[in-house]
A = this chain, B = another copy of it.
Amino acid sequence: MQRVTIRDVAERAQVSTATVSRALSGAKPVSPAVREQVQRAADELGYAGNGIASALRRSRTDTVGMLVPSIANPFFTGLVEHVEHTLQQAGRQLFLCSSRSDPELEAQRLRSLVARQVDGIIISPVHGSLSTPAVQRAARELPLVQVDRYVSGVDSDWIGVDDDAALDLVMTHLAERGVRSAAFVSSQLTNSSTELRLAGFRRHAARLDVAVPAGHVLLGEYSIEWGRQAAAGLIAAGRLPDAVVCADDLIALGVLQACAAAGVAVPGDVLVTGFDDIPYSALSAPPLTTVHQPQAEIAAEAVRLLSRVLGDEPTAHDRVALRPSLIVRASTGG
């Protein structure tokens, strides 16, 4: 099955390949008669064009690469959906990759995106420091925007929420509910979100006079399973604080599950909060109080920042921190 090339179309339409190219792309004026003729020939042959050849010549692909730590996490898929939607309106495509929380895989994917000549990259880096070299190298080759998480020491735009402000909202809310002690469950301190959220947790806990007992900062990974284990550990040790603050909703869902399994009442015995406001956080038992991330805005801003760089103008790089909001549900007493 020989693929149809522009040459075949040209032959059938009795014109040169140059004319075919111009007629189909509309880059330069072509007489209506010829355009019609070319169009017909292309249709009859089922000409699809060769994006690879075109990309090589034009050295652009109209494609943006996006690299996220996990596509099993609804927060990221939500972000991806919005980014894709936004790009589509600009006539661009999205090339999505997952680094599966592995810096090495991430580096490989980045190289691959660069080799594939995507026009730009939107990335949420896996690791605060291990990801740096690969991200830096990629950023030197082409426009790159970081979302949600970021690595230090790379000169690029970033867009996400203000983690400190988010933890302020959470802790203030908990303090108002009478919380005097709290635990924090998160992933290993391997990325900016985790660090900033923990820092915010500590800072605002101290400010509001909420105790953080030793051993009450538990670091694992962003997953339901880890939340379950962490909470099970606290419960088994009989050291449950007034509240468990989680660095994302998956962890919080795991915590809720562990509580249910152990007969610990939420919010009766302990309050629980999440972070991200994924769709499932409203469906848990009890529904989860969480920090809402404005995904649509993050996505739109990421694309905007990227296009700004694409349209050259080497402006100074921005760090945009959006204001988060708190969604209060039953897990903190409604």
Contact = CB atoms under 8 A, between A and B. Distances in A.
Contacts of A1: 140-141
Contacts of A115: 48-52
Interface stretch (A75-83, A162-170, A199-207): A75-83
A20 B151 CA distance: 34
Contacts of A94: 97
Contacts of A100: 81, 85
Interface stretch (A32-40, A185-193, A267-275, A279-287): A279-287
A290 interface: no
A278 to B, nearest CB: 9
Contacts of A105: 88
Interface in A36-75: 46, 48-53, 55-56, 61, 71-72, 74
Interface string A283-295: 1111000000000
Interface string A1-40: 1010000000000000000000000000000000000000
A306 interface: no
Contacts of A114: 48
A285 B116 CA distance: 46
A53 B93 CA distance: 20
30 contacts: A1-B141, A3-B141, A48-B111, A48-B115, A50-B115, A50-B117, A51-B112, A51-B117, A52-B55, A52-B115, A52-B116, A56-B56, A71-B96, A72-B81, A74-B74, A81-B98, A81-B100, A84-B98, A85-B100, A88-B105, A93-B97, A94-B97, A224-B279, A224-B283, A256-B283, A280-B283, A283-B284, A284-B284, A284-B285, A285-B285
A325 to B, nearest CB: 21
A69 B84 CA distance: 13
Contacts of A46: 137
Greatest chain B CB density within 10 A among A52, A93, A111 is at A52
A132 interface: no
A257 interface: yes
A171 interface: no
Contact of A77 (B61, B71, B112, B279): B71
A17 to B, nearest CB: 16
